[in-house]
Amino acid sequence: MKPVFKRIIFFGIILSLWELGARLGLWTEIILPAPSKVIVSLYSGIENMTLLYDLLASFRRLAVGLAIALILGTSIGVLIAKSKTADDTIGSSLLAFQSVPSIVWLPLAMMWFGLNDKAVIFVVVLGGTFVMALNVRTGIKNVPPLYIRAAQTMGAKGLDLFIRVVFPASIPYFVTGSRLAWAFAWRALIAGELLTTGPGLGYTLRYASDFGDMSMVIGVMIIIGAIGAIVDQLIFQRIEKSVAKRWGLSS
């Protein structure tokens, strides 16, 4: 059986048991509303365009923040991979910064930028930059020395060596870093939007929670999880597998 059918059956069973338990009164609606009510709540949000505006606002912030994170992370990764001094100083602190949850940066972002898009984008940038930098560094460090020596014997050096040999050999790590940066940035975005005052999935999640609308809370959580899974599986996983196959890292 194909994986897609296994997933359909699995989620179908979960939703059926969830609906049955809610209708039998095994728990109250304030704890976990039935899937049918979640669907009705989501349909209402789509019909009045609220969720569509939220999605557009969230993706706009994510696009800006992730683009900056990828550029900044790549630059830092190249720097610490090629400079021992930078690696001993900047590189040693990257793991410490990476271990700090994105939501911890929110108070600093709010004091610097206030409750606006800049604060959210700042958190998104921090969410994706460090993991991208670490993967780029690892990719460049793991280029086989044989490739470099072979290129050097043919006259390649400096920037030409990096463009022709080092960068192409590091592509799988760049792709993996981008995939992880997306995942960290997506989580950072939702965390940042929880404290904003404008449209966004995180804001709607907090708003629904404040007014006790558990159907919308569950619905937005499902949307957040579904978008994360869909983007990862349909875009990044495919790119990663394609690159791994082309570079001879998988059959």
Structure-block tokens of residue 99? 């271990």
**75 — pLDDT class (breaks 50, 70, 90):** very high
Q: What is the C-alpha to C-alpha distance for residues 218 and 125, in angstroms, rounded to an integer?
A: 27
pLDDT for 84 equals 86
Q: What is the C-alpha to C-alpha distance for residues 222 and 138, in angstroms, rounded to an integer?
A: 34
Domains of the chain plus CATH, in order, are: 55-81+91-246 (1.10.3720.10)
Q: Are 22 and 29 in contact (CB under 8 A)?
A: yes
Q: What average pLDDT does this structure show over 55-66?
A: 93
pLDDT at 244 over 80: no
Which percentage of the chain shows pLDDT scores above 90? 34
Tokens 């890292």 belong to residue: 249
Listing DSSP states for 27-91 in one string gives S-TTT---HHHHHHHHHHHHHTTHHHHHHHHHHHHHHHHHHHHHHHHHHHHHHHHH-HHHIIIII
Q: Please give the model's pTM, rounded to 2 decimal places.
A: 0.87
Look at residues 129, 227, 230, 246 and name the one whose alpha carbon lies nearest to residue 180.
129
Q: How many residues does the chain have?
A: 251
pLDDT at 151 over 80: no
pLDDT for 13 equals 92
Q: What average pLDDT does this structure show over 199-226?
A: 90
Q: What is the C-alpha to C-alpha distance for residues 95 and 76, in angstroms, rounded to an integer?
A: 13
Look at residues 154, 166, 146, 176 and name the one whose alpha carbon lies nearest to residue 81.
166
Structure-block tokens of residue 90? 């900047």
b/e string for 132-169 if b means 16 or more Cβ within 10 A? Answer: bbbbbbebbeebeeeebeebeeeebeeeebbeebbbeb
pLDDT for 23 equals 87
Q: Are 188 and 123 in contact (CB under 8 A)?
A: yes
**107 — pLDDT class (breaks 50, 70, 90):** confident
Q: What average pLDDT does this structure show over 85-104?
A: 84
**250 — pLDDT class (breaks 50, 70, 90):** low
Q: Which of 82-96, 137-151, 171-185 has the highest mean pLDDT?
A: 171-185
CB atoms under 10 Å from CB of 95, counted, come to 10
Q: What average pLDDT does this structure show over 165-174?
A: 86
pLDDT at 186 over 90: yes
pLDDT digits (tens, 9 = 90+) for 23-35: 888 888 788 889 9
pLDDT for 48 equals 87
Q: Are 156 and 164 in contact (CB under 8 A)?
A: yes
Q: What is the C-alpha to C-alpha distance for residues 233 and 227, in angstroms, rounded to an integer?
A: 10
**198 — pLDDT class (breaks 50, 70, 90):** confident
Look at residues 241, 225, 140, 135 and name the one whose alpha carbon lies nearest to residue 183.
225
Q: What is the C-alpha to C-alpha distance for residues 220 and 71, in angstroms, rounded to an integer?
A: 30
